[in-house]
Amino acid sequence: MYTAIYARQSLDKKDSLSIEGQVDLCRAEAADEFKVYTDKGFSGKNTHRPSFAKLMKDVESGEVEKLVCYRLDRISRSIMDFGMIWETLNQNHVEFVSINEKFDTSTPVGRAMLYIIMVFAQLERETIAERVKDNYYQRVKKGAWPGGPAPFGFRIAQERVAGQKSLEPTPEIEIVKRIFNMYAEAGASLGKVAKTLTEEGIPCARRTGWDGVSVGRILRNPAYAKATEAIYAYYSAKGAIIYNDVSEFTGKFASIMIGKRTSNERKYTNMQEHLLAISSHEGVIDGEQFLTCQFRLDNNRQVKNTGKGKLTWLSGLLHCKECGYSLRVIEDKQYTRKYLSCSGRTNLHICSAIHTERIEDVEAMVESFLIGNFSTKQSFLTAEDPGSKPQDKWVGEVEQIENKIANLIEALASGNDVSAQYINTAIQKLDDEKREVLNKITSAANTVRTDTIAYDFSTLDFEAKKKTAAAVIKNVLCSPWGIDIKLR
């Protein structure tokens, strides 16, 4: 057994003791036989370090009798992490010595001091993190670029504005302008824009190339738009925290938004945790065109699939387990087979899953699940028989509302600054009405009778199985390795 010396240094700084210096100080506490473990360029916020991982492996194998380090934070800055490390050391009867704090865990006082110091170490780390966050927000409020990579089509300018970092356009900004132009056209979609850019070999900031996510991220970023009063009204209606007064939204400079991203940026409806502030760089996209794209993204909500497919009684319920988008069954008559196609892969180009599962196998697993969970002779709720379909009327209402929204968006281009706010309010009201109608359509599609019928599921015909599945199952998540069935 031997004494282990551990040293870590994240960055070379004048006021930071080098790894060599740490090791020299620790040798005085080491026995005749010792082994040195070092990690250079790694932070102490977690324990994901190669040499430290090797050290803990040697501890667990019983090779280490004492662990010596220069300071406690060389091991970890997290109480939770160190608690797990200390438990491992205890279980393997390994003593711990910190040179700087001058304590030894072989004594009760040393162990008590260890926990006290760890509390203050974590407090220091959290205080630093909070200070960094505050500085980040303060830079945005001053109109500066807060940090991190510049948005696609921009770079961080070498000359500072009022002592702060700012953005300046690059030649790729023309690609950004084209994206906004393409998406603003009638009938455009994120998938179509991404496909066009990919086919033409247009370079993308992402290594994986253009897809609906990368296009949507550009369209959602107010750093490209000339900040007008209409944009102020739009984000205000969304609930964003706006730092500047509406009078500062003059249509010359762009704006910067920071805050937690949602899992799907194309569908968020409120931004209570987002801060918007006028930037020091000028916008390159007209405010009206930017808003046209925003309303189209906001209203890009499809009517739920009502399951009219004839190739499987699970029509409308199948979804890709990887990306969550719907799966449809395609029949290849030449080879007399059916296969699954993911819309996230074929339409939006955001999914890499390749579905090899047979729809017959998926149906068999779902049928077995239903019989096993509800018993063979179970009173299932069955979907209402098709008769009069109010959905058809509501779908027409959705189209009328969308036409009204489109007309109001066009009015934004010719309206003055005063009318812009009222137009945005009207658009928001119409959007709320549209969502109510969409909810009616969804509810009607899932309507079930209050009376139940007892039957053997395996003996039902195609249409009866479809109605029953729609009434009982929320969705079926598919992958080549199995399925997950979510009940209503």
Tell me the pLDDT of the chain (488 aa) as tens digits: 899 999 998 876 666 788 999 999 998 888 778 999 999 888 887 888 999 999 999 999 999 999 999 988 888 877 667 777 887 888 899 988 888 877 666 677 776 766 776 677 667 767 877 887 778 788 888 888 888 889 999 999 887 766 788 999 999 999 999 999 999 887 788 888 998 998 898 988 766 678 888 899 999 999 999 999 889 988 887 788 899 999 999 999 999 988 765 544 444 445 667 889 999 999 999 998 999 898 888 766 544 444 556 788 888 888 888 877 788 888 776 656 777 888 777 765 667 778 888 888 889 888 888 877 765 444 444 444 444 455 566 666 776 776 676 666 655 555 555 456 666 677 777 777 777 777 776 666 555 443 344 456 777 888 888 888 888 888 899 888 888 888 87
Query: What is the pTM for the complete model shown?
Result: 0.48
Q: How many CA atoms, within 13 angstroms, populate the side-chain half-sphere of residue 277? A: 17
